[in-house]
Structure 1
Amino acid sequence: MTVDPHRPSQSAPVRIAEADGQHAVLAFSGNLDAPALRVLEELLLDHRLRQPGTWTLEMSDLHHIDLACAYALLRAVTRVPEPADITVRGARPAVHRTLHHAGLDAVAAFAD
């Protein structure tokens, strides 16, 4: 099966699974790469992500993230004067490596 990068996927590679004003959970799946960058950037501007003091980035279903998307995450979590506490859960070694190259490990804790 081939995937057309110009045709939107039926399921987005990232979604807000929970956001209650205190805590937000972003769930990632599949591949987060150039075709998904706009979806990611728009989601990160969602008003529900402005308030939470803690974020969990659930990445156990994420197979690949490219560097542009990793930088978009880094910009989002560091753009506010008081950045949220960030926990990355379930990142595969290749995903963790890309997040490290982007510098996300400087502002986030990683958990299995």
Structure 2
Amino acid sequence: MADPSSQSLQPQHLPVAIIEADEQHAFLTFSGVLDAHALPALEELISDRRLRQAGDWVWDMSGLERIDLACAYALLRAVTRAPRTVSVTTRGARRAVQHTLRHAGLDTVVTTEE
């Protein structure tokens, strides 16, 4: 059996995935529903060392139908506790998703593109 640390942290059913990441940039896609059931996997994914190294994060949320407040707070913690200053841009978030992100305070640390 392969070493779990060498496998991707992104099983097919997880509504967020790191598409690419290097020392400069990280691109994540979100889809479906991001709720309490996905929270442990989300927290593991956003603690990935590749994200800790990247300074610019882009979150493509065009496929995300809904996010609950616990997951939005997890994203906020990831941004505010990053070991270096990160610039985060969200793209394509639906109005309901944007509302939840604002409610969690992410609008103060994230740039939103329509």
Deviations 1:51-94 (A, max 9, x none): 11100011000000000000000000110353200000000000
Q: Runs of at least 4 residues of structure 1 off by over 6 A?
A: none
- Secondary structure of 1:37's partner? helix
Instruction: Give 1:18's match in structure 2, choosing from 12, 15, 20.
Output: 20
- Counterparts of 1:1-112 in structure 2 under 5 Å? 10-80=12-82, 82-112=84-114
Which segments of 5 or more consecutive residues in structure 1 lack a partner in the other structure? 1-8
> Could you tell me how far apart the structure 2 residues matched to 1:13 and 1:30 are?
6
TM-score of the pair, normalised by structure 1: 0.89
Q: TM-score, normalised by structure 2?
A: 0.87
Question: What code does the residue aligned with 1:26 have?
Answer: L
> Aligned-residue CA RMSD in angstroms?
1.2
Q: Deviations over 1:7-64 (max 9, x none)?
A: xx84210010110210001110000000000110000111111111100011000000
2:58–2:90 contact (8 Å) kept in structure 1: yes
In structure 2, do the counterparts of structure 1 residues 22 and 102 end up closer, same or farther at CA, with 3 Å as the change threshold?
A: same
Counterpart residue identity of residue 93, structure 1: R
Q: Aligned with 2:85: secondary structure? A: coil
Amino acid in the other structure paired with 1:104: L
Identity among equivalent positions (%) equals 62
Cα distance in 1 between the residues matched to 2:12 and 2:107:
31
